[in-house]
Amino acid sequence: TIKIQYVQNEDFDGKLQTALNSNSAPDVFLQRGGGKMQAMADAGQIQALNLTATDKTNVGTAALASDTIDGKVYAIPLDTAPEGIY
């Protein structure tokens, strides 16, 4: 069963951190990467994804770079559709 909970952008970080600290975090949530993701990984609050080589190829090395810490991927982009600039 999937239960979606929408949270306003301004409230997101605080509610998520409270849930992580109380061991009641959702199984899947929006992750913005960067320093906050690093802190969550360091605290053992998030789990690395078990991606196959095919998964990584399909998403792309550059797309995964900002969601990778110490060689472990903790998130993937919401959109992996091909796009371009003309």
- What are the extents of the domains in the chain? 9-73
How far apart are alpha carbons 67 and 39 in whole angstroms? 13
What is the three-class DSSP state of 4?
A: coil
pLDDT score for 81: 58
Contact (Cβ atoms closer than 8 angstroms) between residue 9 and residue 32: no
Return the pLDDT at 49.
94
**Intervals of the chain under pLDDT 70:** 80-86
Q: What pLDDT, on a 0 to 100 scale, did the predictor assign at position 23?
A: 87
Q: Tell me, what DSSP letter sits at residue 78?
A: S
Token pair listed for 21: 């600290």
Q: Which residues pair with 73 in a beta bridge?
A: 68
